[in-house]
Each structure stands twice: as C-alpha cells, then as structure tokens.
Amino acid sequence: MRIATLTSGGDCPGLNAVIRSVVRTSSAEYGSTVVGYEDGWVGLLEDRRVQLYDDEGIDRLLIRGGTILGTGRMKTEVFKEGIDRIKENLADANIDALIPIGGEGTLKGAKFLADNGVPVVGVPKTIDNDVNNTDYTFGFDTAVAVATDAVDRLHTTAESHNRVMIVEVMGRHVGWIALHSGMAGGAHYIVIPEEPFDINEIVKSMERRFQMGEKYGIIVVAEGAKPKDGTMELEDRGTDVFGHKIFAGIGEMIGKEFTRRTDYDVRTTVLGHIQRGGTPTAFDRVLATRYGVHATRAVHEGDFGSAVALQSGEVVRIPLSEAVGQLKTVPPGRYRTAKALFG
C-alpha cells in the first residue's frame, strides 16, 4: 500500500512520534510506503507532499516536539469545496489511504472525507484532551506537566511576596489542563469553562486563606472560563477568521477584579503556547506511538471511517462519528473532587 498522513490544527507534543510510528510500522510489518502532506489540509488541497523514509531521520523524531510536516487550519467551506480536488490529488499520487492526525476539527474533516468515499483512519490529538470517547489524547500529559511545573515555581515567589498569583492556562471550551495542573500543583482555586465562576466566591476563598495566617494564594484559570451571569462583565472581542472566539485574557480580568475589591498584591501569568511546545513526556511518546501502530494496522485491514482511541488502557477503534460532534468535558463530580481542596 501507499499511505499518506498529515497533521492539522494546533501543534502538539507527540505528533512526530505518530508520524514515526506510521512510517516504521508500514515499512516493517507491511512493506508499505508513506508520504506526508505539508501544512495540514492546505498541503493536501495544494498537493504538497514529501516522501517519508524509514531511516535514522525518522527514528530520531520520537523526542521532537512540533511536527516535521507543519500544520495549519482551513475554513470549513474551503475544505468542503475542494473535495474533488483532494480526491484527484490522492489518486494522482496513488494513495491507498489517508491517516490525518488532529483534534476534533481535523477529525470532522476526516469524517467528511470518509463520507465522500476517501479511505481514512483518524488519529486524535490535542493538548486540551477534549476528543470524545477516548480517555486521553497525546499532548495533554505534556501540557499538564508544563503547567504544573509553572505552578510549582510560583508557590515560592508568591509566598516570598505575600501575593495572590493567577495562572492562566489553555482550555478554550474544557478545563482538563486547568483541573489536572491545578490539582497536581496544589492550587488554592481552579476555574474551568464547565463551571461558571463567581468572582465574589474566589475573593472570599483567598480572604479566608489570609485570615487563617497563610501568606499567599494561587489560582489556576482556563482561558475559556466564564463568570456567572451578573457577577462580572467580560470584553467581547468577536471571532477570528476561522470562527473561533477570541478570548480577552480572563486571568488578567480576574486579577483586576481582585485589585479593585481587595488590597492584595495580585500578579497574573499567562502560559500560552509554551504548553504546546518542547519535548513530549514519556507518556505522550508511548501513547502517540501506540496510536500510530494501531492506525497503520487499521488501514491495512481496511477498517476505514474509523479512529483510534484509548479506552481503559487499551487502544481500540471507534467510528469517526463517535469522536466528533461533542467535546469531552470535565464531569461535575471530578470538579467537586478538586473543589474540596480549595482555599
């Protein structure tokens, strides 16, 4: 077989490990060849591809963050309008199957291709851990490790200066990174998109800490966190060219409210894209490798229209339809567990 792969959407630690795994498994188990399309769906539409070889260069990809193929985003209407061109490009390159690697948006694109007769097997990735029907996506563990390290470091400087430290982490629609890094780092309050917050409750929680003799507080906030109606006004910055909401810096807004309501010394740290860069953790390298192996086997077995997923520790195959359409959010019970440790 001749297989193609691409990486689409945001970059993510572990993408190169999947590429490596697809290439090596294809070569070693099936004698198949692999090409990679550059810059995600754009490269597929423009027929920009490179041959990927099972050599030392591929082998060294395991420890590299980012993606050697590049990544990008494409408007949905442009992608759908290009379906005939995509099919022609795949046919001209003698591609037997496509393995797109990406988050919920990429997997929606994969499902669209599968529904239109393109042989596709998807691989889920996202640091947000929000793809449905899979326990974990690779990249999440690395992002949590980076965020936790930042929280760990802020404990000492916050205590030294008697400050309230607000740490804004990624998480547009779900709070997995905030929840896990906040719990692992011993944050004193965690704010996630799934649970609208009351600024008064957060302020009171910090006030109780200081009244009990504590000298500092740390609050972890997901970028997509929202206040309860009527408790705090947020600036609306509209959407970007892809229709994604532009966030206005919720961590800074909460910090300003603290300063307005109290005399605490408040500082805000926004981790931003540092959570997506650098070397993937051992967990993410292993999970990405397993995904690549199983996706390659699914392709050679003709199990198209599916995606690989992690369920109860095992890599399984699920229909693409089960991976898209609904984000995997933080369950209320999981947040209540973390809330027991607030203050």
Could you say which of 11, 39, 128, 141 is catalytic? 128
CA 184: distance to chain centroid? Answer: 18
8 Å CB contact between 113 and 20:
no
Report CA-CA distances (Å) from 284 to 14, 47, 103, 138.
Answer: 6, 30, 15, 5
Residue 198 is among the residues annotated as catalytic for this protein: no
Query: Which positions are catalytic?
Result: 128
